Chain A
Amino acid sequence: MIELKGLTKTYAGKNVVDNVSLTLDTGEFGVLIGPSGCGKSTTLKMINRLVPLSGGRIILNGDDVTELPAEQLRRRIGYAIQSTGLFPHWSVAQNIATVPQLLKWPKSRIDDRVDELMAMFHLDAAEFRHKYPHQLSGGQAQRVGVARALAADPEVLLMDEPFGAVDPLTREVLQAEMRRVHQQTGKTIVFVTHDMDEALQLATRIALLNGGKLVQYDRPIELMVKPDNDFVREFIGQADLGLKLLSRRWVHQYQREPSLEHHATHPGLDHCWQLDDAGRPVALEGARLDEDHEVTEVKPEWTATPGMSMKEALSRMVWYRVMVLPVVDDAGKLIAEIGMQGIMGIQAENGTQAS
């Protein structure tokens, strides 16, 4: 748990962080967001004391951070930044091992941990262990940066626009990975971004800052449906609130049993999946907008997974003109389906999100 109490930073007589108080419980994914220069990075860097506090207190799991030796504190806190800051003269494995090395873990434990993290981030150890940072793509380097931050199993992970410099496609992949890693590890995360879509994708708590002040601190849904003032409303953007809402919903929350035979009497279930011997969907009978295609071959492009956002599922339905998508597991086996009705069933009010 992290508590910021009246946190203030003054540069040249100006409070660039102004009396910010908030509490982030263990396991929460907190996102600091706001316009450029609003004090996000400064707030983040005060948590690991890269920036000294001008006023207020920060309590990390009961310890006042200013009372701990700085280096010791930082080894308890993972830190990942936009430009990765990977050590260019160290291999991927050495980079990931940075903090365990400083903590003088035995070599075998370090090696095991490096392997574990590389697996977690889908980096093939044989291929990447001995590569240098300049031999990595932007997305790979960013994965290594996050793996390094997680290496010594820190109590908190701080991330400053970690995906700000990668292309949009890679960013989406990394965001999905980050969500998975958060779920797998249950880490408390403080994440800085100025991209609201990214915040909505990832956060369980969003802190909106403006001019150094905390404007609203809430769950993403609350921020959307109950903005405290016009600034919040404007920052979130009213244009596609419905779509933003869908980006906070996951297929596994709304999927249903797949229809394996025709139910002529049930509107919306008047379709059925054809499976192969391995249980993978090969074709869809019915449920197309254009009737002349009665049987449609199933393509990976319009297949859903339980972890996919409802926004993405909707996007695929619209693009491929199907009313229902197959939901498959890692092996490609049909485990459920997700239909238009599922999407229409989502309401802003209906409960707090699963995290």
Chain B
Amino acid sequence: MNGAIPGAQRLRAASAGNRVLGVLIVLLIALTLGMDQLEPLFRALFPDLGNPLYSRDSFLNLMLAHIGLVLMSSLISVTVGVAAGLFVTRPVGREFEPMVSSLAAIGQTFPPAAVLAIAVPLAGFGFAPTIIALSLYGLLPVIQNTIAGLGTVPQATLEAARGNGMNRWQILRRVELPLAMRVIIAGIRVSVIINIGTATIGSTVGAKSLGTPLIAGLVGNNLAYVIQGALLVGLLAIVTDLLFERLERRFSFGR
């Protein structure tokens, strides 16, 4: 795809991308640490609200809790998803492929709120049910892309790997995974971005996140709270997405 773009132009595009990413990261940190400084602005925008700045918890705490939720659940999604994708693409697990794929697809069709509702009676309120819901939810893109990514490795490449005396482990490590990595990372990217958004509803079952001010705002009819939460969640999602984009590009091997 990028092959058509001449080197200089590609470099220029990359450096412009770097600047955008840099600005967004600075903005994300500044807003997380310094939302209080904007109190006059929110007061001016929402003169009717008695308390236009969410203050039951610091935005730094909320941000860290949010990132913690996403990290934890993504770690589970990626570990389980990549392992499952690897398993069903090996000779021993090939027969399980249709089952695993459809299970993951079904998991995705449940609305996250429903998964939460089911998880609460099983795991109680708070962190645990949110993690369960998020990891289940993030599983599908990882499994799907792991299978798809490994499927893009050309047959001739695999035959050459075997013919040159690589054992199964070496073929996986040196050939299949590097070649599938770009697609796998694209799946992880989707999974993480979904979870950054979905983690907000964890606050409905008592898991602290950037959803906390958002939900509080919705319940208490406080639009300022909603904006403060949504702004940070949105920025976090965009920055994460851009970071993943750069990570993916590392695995394009000159193409």
Contacts and interface: CB of A to CB of B under 8 A. Distances in A.
Interface of A: 48, 50, 71-75, 79, 81, 83-89, 98-99, 102, 132, 134-135, 145, 148-149, 158
A50 B165 contact: no
A135 B161 CA distance: 20
Given A81-B159, A84-B156, A132 B166 contact: no
Q: Which of B164, B174, B251 has the most CB of A within 10 A?
A: B164
B200 to A, nearest CB: 38
B157 interface: yes
Contacts, number: 68
B2 to A, nearest CB: 12
B175 interface: yes
B179 interface: yes
A330 B254 CA distance: 37
Given A74-B162, A89-B253, A102-B165, A81 B178 contact: no
Interface in B164-189: 164-167, 170, 174-175, 178-179
Nearest to A148: B164
Contacts of A135: 254
B121 interface: no
Contact of A89 (B156, B165, B178): B178
Contacts of A134: 254-255
B161 A87 contact: yes
7 contacts: A81-B160, A81-B163, A132-B254, A132-B255, A134-B254, A134-B255, A149-B164
A271 B254 CA distance: 58
Nearest to A99: B164
A87 B255 contact: no
B163 A74 contact: yes
Contacts of A83: 154, 156
B165 A75 contact: yes
Contacts of B255: 88, 132, 134
Given A86-B160, A89-B178, A71 B254 contact: no
A251 to B, nearest CB: 36
**Considering residues A50, A102, A132, A158, which has the most beta carbons from chain B within 10 angstroms of its beta carbon?**
A102
B164 A50 contact: no
Contact of A102 (B154, B170, B175): B170
